[in-house]
Amino acid sequence: AYQGVARNLGMALVQQMNAPAVAECMPDLTLLLMLDPDEGMRRRISDNAPDRIEKERSDFTHRVADGYRVLATLNPERFRVVDENGKTREQVAELVWDAVKEMFD
């Protein structure tokens, strides 16, 4: 999402470059915690000094979020999307736990 979409390298190229490193070793479950990118940056920057990614403009973080949405759409058997917007930590934790438990049902 960062290189393929936000940095405009193309998702296919990034996947091709990663293939030798990951081979067939992919996670059974990927949790995608979705939060408005601007809210995420506000939270992160208020905690610490921003790093190089956090210093990027808002359009970059929105492209990253879009890239992750694309990955989730292309891999629905693996990704579980948890919408964090407007939820408490406890609510998000419950949604995450539900997604993990689903793997064992």
Q: Tell which wins on pLDDT, 34 or 26.
A: 34
- Token pair for residue 58? 């808002």
> Is pLDDT at 5 greater than 70 in this prediction?
no
Q: Mean pLDDT for the chain?
A: 84
H helical segments located in the chain: 11-22, 37-47, 58-74, 89-102
Q: How far apart are CA 76 and CA 70, in angstroms?
A: 10
pLDDT score at 2: 57
Instruction: Report pLDDT digits (tens) over 31-76.
Output: 999 999 888 877 776 666 767 777 777 888 888 898 889 989 988 9
Q: How far apart are CA 10 and CA 53, in angstroms?
A: 19
Residue 46 burial (CB count, 10 A)? 7
pTM, to two decimals = 0.75
